[in-house]
Amino acid sequence: MREVTIIDVSPRDGLQIEPNIISTNDKVELINRLVASGIEKIEATSFVHPAKVPQMADASEVLNEIVSKNDIKPVVLIPNMKGFERASKHQVVELNWVTSATETFNKININMSTEENFEIFKSVLREARLADIQVCFSIAVSFGCPYEGRVPEENVLQLVERAKKLGVNRIGIADTIGMATPNEVDRLIKKVLKVAGDRPVSVHLHDTRGFGAANAYAAYLAGLRIFETSVSGIGGCPFAPGSAGNLATEDLVYLFERMGIKTNINFEKLLDTADFAAKLSSKEPLGRVRHLDRERTIEELCL
C-alpha cells in the first residue's frame, strides 16, 4: 500500500530552463518512461507565453501525445486566464497556479502584485470548477526569496488560509531557491497543515544547498505525504537567481523505500528514466543515487 505520493515535475520544471529546445518526441518519451516507472501524476507542461518560456511552446502537442497513449494524470501549470483557456481544451486532471509569498518575486515573475494575482486566480478557479478540473494553489518562495531574503511565515499562512476558503483541491508549498533547512520545514509545514485542514498539501523542494532529502524527510515527519520532485534532479526556476535543480525523484524514492515508506514506484525503471532525463539536461543534474553501483543499489532496497 502506497504511503506517500510523488508528483514528478521534470517534464515542466525540469526542462523549462534548458537553453536548447528539447524535441516534443523527447518530452513525450520522458513522460512515457515516468508512467512506466509507476508515477501516476506528472506535471507535463505549462501554458505560459512562448516568448517568456520558449521551451514550453509545444504544450498542446505534448498533451495530445501523452493522453492518447497513457492512463496518465497530467498536471499543467498556468499563469493566467489565457493559459487556462488553452489548457482547458485538453484532458488534464489538475491545473497548477503559482503565487509568490513575496511582492518582489511576484512582480518579477508575473509582473503583478500578490493581490492582483489572487484576484485573477479566483476567476480561473471558478472556470475550472465549471470545467470539472482540479486546481492546485502553489506558493513560491515559501522559505526564502532571491530578492527579499527570508520570508515571514505569516506571508505563507495567509495565502494558505485564503486558498483553503476558496476550496482549492491542493495547496503547494515551494522552496523555490532551495533555502530551507529541516527545522524550518518542520515548523512551517506543521502550521500549514493545521491551517489547510482537510485540504491536501504538497511540498516542492529544490536541492540548491544539498538539503533536499533532509527537508523532504522533515516534511514527512511533520505529517505531509505529497512530494513534488524531478527525476535526475534536473531543472530550476528561470526567474529565481541562484536556484539549482529540484530534489531528484529517484533519491527521494530510494530514501523512502530504504526506510520502509512505500511509494509504489519501480526503482529500477526510475533509474533508467533518470539516465534519460540527464541526457536532456545541459547541466550536471543534482541526482545522486543513479551514480552509484546500480545492481547493489537496487539490492539495498530489498535488505
**What does the pLDDT look like over 57-110, one tens digit per residue?**
999 999 999 987 777 889 999 999 999 999 999 999 999 999 999 999 999 888
Domains and CATH numbers, the chain: 5-300 (3.20.20.70)
Residue 43: HSE in the Cβ half-sphere, 13 Å Cα cutoff = 28
Residue 204 burial by Cβ neighbours in a 10 Å radius (0-12, 13-18, 19+): buried
pLDDT at 242: 57
pLDDT at 240: 60
pLDDT at 284: 80
pLDDT at 303: 63
Residue 260 burial by Cβ neighbours in a 10 Å radius (0-12, 13-18, 19+): exposed
**Which pTM was predicted?**
0.95
Rounded Cα–Cα distance for residues 284 and 289 (Å): 14
CA angle 268, 92, 139 (to 5 degrees): 85
Sign of torsion, CA 156 214 180 268? negative
β-strand pairing of 94-100 with 73-78: parallel
Which grid coordinates are listed for 71?
A: 492512463
β-strand pairing of 5-8 with 94-100: unpaired
Q: pLDDT under 50 in the chain at which residues?
A: none
Rounded Cα–Cα distance for residues 174 and 98 (Å): 9
Residue 234 burial by Cβ neighbours in a 10 Å radius (0-12, 13-18, 19+): buried
237 tagged catalytic: yes
To which residue does cell 529500477 refer?
Answer: 268
Average pLDDT, the chain: 94
**CA-based max dimension of the chain:** 53
Span 109-143, pLDDT tens digits: 888 999 999 999 999 999 999 999 999 999 999 99
Which grid coordinates are listed for 219?
A: 516534511
Task: Name the catalytic one among 136, 145, 237, 302.
Answer: 237
